[in-house]
Structure 1
């Protein structure tokens, strides 16, 4: 089981298979690296070294007392790319995984990256007059307590969430360990910090191409966020995946694998 140790002595687990230009996959809040299993075979067949990272407190990685902030996750990603000496990387982030990539770029620029793919993550989660594409119902006034509500993720919008048993079975068939969720309430500071961020300036300053993907029927926000985000950078473009919610790569696994492979073929 490959692991690497960060500068603050946290061991992070990852999967690493295949050869060729690297694709690094980073899952969202609560999701393990195994959640990418249904993309692995297609990406390897397209000639990629496929690496899936478990962020701290996720999957099989350590759960340290500190580091419950997106900046630390971004630093972890940079240390990971450096430790494995990865260059010409297509970095793919789903939900909070996308924010991890934006954090890494904010801190270290696009060093070692050839391109970025984000899956259904608006760059600003708080809605306001200049950005109406945030989390449904989340405003500057209720930000402090919003995610403390048990029903916060149940916005009543978008498509039905995928059946957990079916997703777990699909991941296991594809070679993963299943959709284990070991996340706990200890990570609320991380979720809150995630919700406070505004990555629009990071997108505007990109020096590598980016593909901003939205689920057409996301439970969390309007799919229009993708187009609005892509407008911020001449190097970015947007696409909306039909028949998909927030968990785009679980709702449409093969379509997302082809999107990533197709995008990676145009970079580097």
Structure 2
């Protein structure tokens, strides 16, 4: 199991396969790198090098009490790029994984990064002050307690279970990937950090092409977040997937893969 150790002493797990332009897959809150299996196969078939990355407190990586903030997760991602000597990398992040990518770019700019793909992650979770594309019901008044019991059911968006996509992943892996417990102190601290961020200024000054993929029927926020964020940067483009909830790589894996490959092509 390949790992590297961060500058603050945490061992992180990754998987590195193939040749060609590197694509780094960064999973969302509590999701392991194996949740990208359907994307990994499509990217590998297209001749791309795929690097799956378990963030700290996720998958097979260590889960320390320290560093459970998005800025540190962004630094971890950059250290992975340096460790593997990746240049012109395509960073693909789903949900909170997208925020880790924006944190990385905020700290290090386009160093080693050639393009960015984010999958159904609003750049600002909090609604208000002219921004109404955040997490349903989250405001400045309740941000301190909103996620105290985990991620609430908003009652919005797609209600059907993601059985088809999950079944495909399980078949590809020979079993279901293990998702982390969101209730641990480490992950609750990380979720709070996630809730308080606003990445719009980072997106506006990004100097590499970026693709925003949104689920039309996301359970967490309006799909218009993607167009609103992309409008600030002429290098940004948007794809909104129909009949798709928040976890686009599981709800609509084929459409997600096609959007990524078309963007890279």
The TM-score bracket by the shorter chain reads over 0.9
Partner residue, 1:56:
56
8 Å Cα contact 2:14-2:51 kept in structure 1: yes
* 1:87 and 2:97 matched: no
> For residue 119 of structure 1, what is the aligned residue in structure 2?
119
Does the residue aligned with 1:144 lie in a helix, a strand or coil?
Answer: coil
Mapped partners of 1:189, 1:252: distance in 2: 30
Match of 1:181 in 2: 179
- Report the alpha carbon displacement of residue 177 of structure 1 after superposing the two structures with TM: 5.6
Compared with structure 1, are the counterparts of its residues 36 and 223 closer, same or farther at alpha carbon in structure 2 (3 Å cutoff)? same
Spell out the pairing of 1:71-110 with structure 2 (5 A cutoff).
71-110=71-110
CA distance in 2: counterparts of 1:60 and 1:188, whole angstroms: 18
Q: Distance in 2 between matches of 1:48 and 1:74?
A: 23
Deviation at 1:17, TM superposition (A): 1.3
Give the CA RMSD over aligned residues: 1.4
Match of 1:156 in 2: 155
Q: CA deviation at 1:263?
A: 1.2
Q: CA deviation at 1:19?
A: 1.2
Deviation (angstroms), 1:98: 0.2
Give the aligned partner of residue 170 of structure 2.
172
How many residue pairs get aligned? The number is: 263
**Structure 1 residue 237: Cα displacement:** 1.1
State the shift of 1:175 in Å. 3.2
- Paired with 2:147 and 2:165, the residues of 1 have a C-alpha distance of 25
How does the TM-score come out when normalised to structure 2? 0.95
- Deviation (angstroms), 1:251: 0.3
Moved over 4 A (4+): none
> Matched residue of 1:114: which SS?
strand
CA shift, 1:173, in A, is 2.1
Moved more, 9-18 or 114-123: 9-18
- Answer yes or no: is the 8 Å Cα contact 2:90–2:114 preserved in 1: yes
SS in 2 for 1:238: strand
SS of the residue aligned with 2:145?
helix
- 1:254 is matched with 254
Match of 1:20 in 2: 20
Inter-partner Cα distance in structure 1 for 2:12 and 2:153: 31
Which residue number in structure 1 is paired with residue 238 of structure 2?
238
Displacement of 1:163: 4.2
Name the stretch that deviates more: 154-163 or 54-63.
154-163
Report the 3-state secondary structure (helix = DSSP H, G, I; strand = E; otherwise coil) of the residue aligned with 1:145: coil
Q: Which sections of structure 1, spanning at least 5 residues, go unmatched?
A: none
Residue-by-residue CA offset, 1:211-233 (whole Å, 9 max, x unaligned): 01110000000000010010011
User: 1:26-37 to 2 correspondence within 5 Å?
Assistant: 26-37=26-37
